[in-house]
Amino acid sequence: MFLQNLVGGLTALGNTQGLIYLFGGSLIGVVFGVIPGLGGAVILSIILAFIYHISLTGTICLFLAVQAASYYSASVTSILLNTPAHPEAFAVTFDGFPMAQRGEAGRALGISATATCLGGLVGCAVLVGFIQIVNQLPLIFHPPEFVALVLIALLLVGTLGTDKVSKAIVSAGIGIVLSAIGTDPVTAVQRFTFGSVALISGISLVSLALGLFAVPQMILIFGTATTIARQDMMGNEVEAQEAVGLQKGFSKQILQGMGEAATHWVALIRGGLIGVMTGVIPGIGGFAANFLSYGVAQQTSKNRALFGTGIPEGIIAPEASSLSKEAGSMIPIIGLGIPGGVGGALFLAALVIKGVHVGYGFNTQYPTLPYEMMWVIALGGIIGTAIGLLASPLLARITLVPGPLLLPFIMVLSALGPFVADISFFTVVEGLVFTIVGFLLRRLRYSLAAFAIGLVLGPTLENNIFLTHEVFPGWSFVTARPLADVLFAIAIGVMILKAVQLRGDARKANPPIEEEDPIKRAEIEAARFAKQNPYPQLAMLTTLVLFGLSLTIVVYSLVEFRWNSALFPVLGGGMATLGAAWRVPPDIAAYIHYLKIRKVLKADRLAAIAPLPEIDAKTGKKPLPTIVEKMWGWNGQYTRETFGIAIYCALTGAMYVFGFLLTVPVFTVLYGMWAARRVMPSVTKRIIYSAVGAGVLWGATYEMLNLLHLTFTAMINL
């Protein structure tokens, strides 16, 4: 049976459609994986919008191949530019870039590619072993344990990318409340629909994904107005190294590196095992897995002192764990329905959209599907690595493309995606609302991961809360399910440890000030405070609004719904209320402190803003300065970000008034000729860019709408 299912998973990919999506997904992963900020959640959220018209096999191939193929290409910029495209590729810079600086860029890329590919195969082999026992996990975990596991996942994943545990709790609570919108799966009562037919089925997962990840990230990139190589994953401008030139004999160097990586088979297997085991634990992430693998390799190596100077082991260790972590993250998704990160949450959302329910009985109902996922990860890694090696020189040049030139393509697809998914313009408006909310929460460093996972796992959490309440009335589960008690204790411990860790990180980032001059000391303290609280007014206002809104949701649920229907939104609203109440005192204190020292900071703020260049002789205007986010107030970056939000609002409104086919080319031409003039001064180049972009986007829009028409017509004829 095992061999039959293993072979069945491979043969399911052997048809023409499966191969097209496998190779297509790998190519997309390679191209977008090299662009900081546009890999991972952004491209997956765009793909999520179009899977309604793709088969289940095609969906799995697209999602997992994109993720698998992106890991090597993300390391290309780490090695050639010392600029990681993904957080997972950061550890590769320690030895990859020094090796490339010695004129051995091809060798470093060959080592990276081989380690990524073989490490992924190690992870897939371990995944096959776990698949044999994954059906036993739901027999161990009953509803109380599932509730505790979801809370652990929310806390572990939700605290990634945020500076306060309270913000993660607020974000998770908001996501849970949003998942309660629509028809209650237990009592069939409509909650928070307020008479809207469009909300009966709940919030659109596609609108949420695109609004939280794709468009806000594009607005951040637009705000920097610089090349891709000079921006980090948050869209902030960074100092970039000069690209390392690819020497003669590049191909021979690649072959040398590939052979050299294979000789370090112990490091490869160890890195792969570390990656897959960290992937099993939700919230650990590839960033921690790569650094853990690098640290273990350094401590156990005979060449410990040479790490950081450009040695093969320093590249093999983190790269071997990157793709294997992706294989490991499939285990909690398949066995428990719990994602390990944002990418896993979007993949889980894709499975839900296709009608596949993971967790108990998954292997029985879909015996070949887990093996199909394993084969896609393995083959996607191999194909993506091969494409990446062949296209390495081209991938390095992609990073020189100004980020704002990508804006019309991402925005048009993000606005079109919800309509294609649900054939309703209401979901497009939902995407616009989530864009504004997502951008605001991202700028204030709330957890978008907790927000998304709270919404995706909401139905699972509600069902298990209901079952816990029915099977174990009151608090009887405390004595009946000791494993649940342990897991709840772990959840509380995780929250406390994360709070201590974040507070410790804040102390390290702000060492004691040794300046004795009281005036200079006050200026340093004021500048440090401004860096920690860049938006004191907005932060305080947002916290108060969230507190009032979440408290209103709790009261409304208790008054309007019976207890079974009110329990879940009360839980989510209560989490958001407690988290916001936790945030109110420090945010008010920060605002009061800001009022006291803003006069002191006035001179610092003016000094922090780069002086405007002289008036351009061609345009007769002073161009906006490109500034890293440092101080309060408006500067060039904030102005462009606000303008980017206005562009998306205008695009959505024009699509509603004039339709998609007319709006898309006109928007692209206007953007190219006017808004892109800062990053493309040549009129001729802007004309070519506008014409080509308008043609490509109009063709894509026409094909998507035509596909909708054909699908809808076929459904009517049936």
Pair 594, 654 in one domain: no
Domain boundary among 423, 446, 462: 462
Which helix (H) or strand (E) element contains residue 190?
A: strand 190-191
| Same-domain status, 396 and 532 | no
User: Tens of pLDDT along 315-340?
Assistant: 888 888 888 888 888 888 887 777 77
Largest CA distance in the chain: 82
Answer yes or no: is 493 within a domain: no
**611: DSSP letter:** P
Which of 322, 355, 349 lies closest to 337, judged by CA?
Answer: 349
Q: Find the Cα–Cα–Cα–Cα dihedral 417, 420, 426, 430, rounded to 10°.
A: -20
* Predicted local distance difference test score (pLDDT) of residue 694: 92
* pLDDT at site 622: 47
pLDDT score at 550: 93
Given this model, what pLDDT does residue 685 score?
A: 87
Please check whether residue 506 lies inside any domain of the structure. Answer: no
Looking at residue 634, its pLDDT comes to 44
User: How would you write 372-435 as a 3-class SS string?
Assistant: HHHHHHHHHHHHHHHHHHHCHHHHHHHCCCEHHHHHHHHHHHHHHHHHHHHCCHHHHHHHHHHH
DSSP SS3 for 182: strand
Q: For residues 338 and 429, state if they share a domain.
A: yes
> In whole angstroms, how far apart are CA 417 and each of 5, 39, 214, 543, 699?
35, 17, 11, 31, 15
Q: Can you list the residues of the chain whose pLDDT is less than 70?
A: 1, 36-40, 83-87, 135-139, 157-161, 224-250, 282-288, 360, 396-400, 506, 509-510, 513-519, 521-523, 526-527, 530-531, 598-637, 708-718
Residues 541 and 396 occupy one common structural domain: no
Within this chain, do residues 690 and 578 fall inside the same structural domain, yes or no? Answer: no
**3-class secondary structure, 159:** coil
In a domain, 638, yes or no: no
Among 380, 311, 536, smallest CA distance to 24 is for 380
Number of domains in the chain: 3
Residues 350, 230 share a domain:
yes
Residue 681 DSSP one-character state = -
454 SS3 class? helix
Q: Tell me: do 538 and 408 sit in the same domain.
A: no
Q: In Å, how far from its chain's centre is CA 6?
A: 31
Convert the pLDDT of each residue in 346-386 to its tens digit.
888 888 888 888 776 777 788 888 889 899 999 998 998 88
Annotate 174-198 with b (16+ C-beta within 10 A) or e (fewer).
bbbbbbbbbebebeeebbbeeeeeb
Residue 92 lies in a domain: yes
> Which residue, among 483, 532, 524, has the nearest Cα to 507 in the 3D structure?
532
What CA–CA distance (Å, rounded) separates 245 from 243?
A: 6
Name the nearest CA neighbour of 87 among 441, 343, 301: 343
424/509 Cα distance (integer angstroms): 47
Amino acid letter, residue 406:
L
- pLDDT recorded at residue 39: 62
Whole-number pLDDT of residue 600: 55
Domain boundary among 580, 608, 636: 608
Note whether 571 and 683 are same-domain residues: no
C-alpha 267/C-alpha 543 separation (Å) is: 48
The backbone torsions φ and ψ at residue 191, rounded to the nearest 5 degrees and listed phi first, read -120, 130
For residue 48, what are the domain limits?
2-462
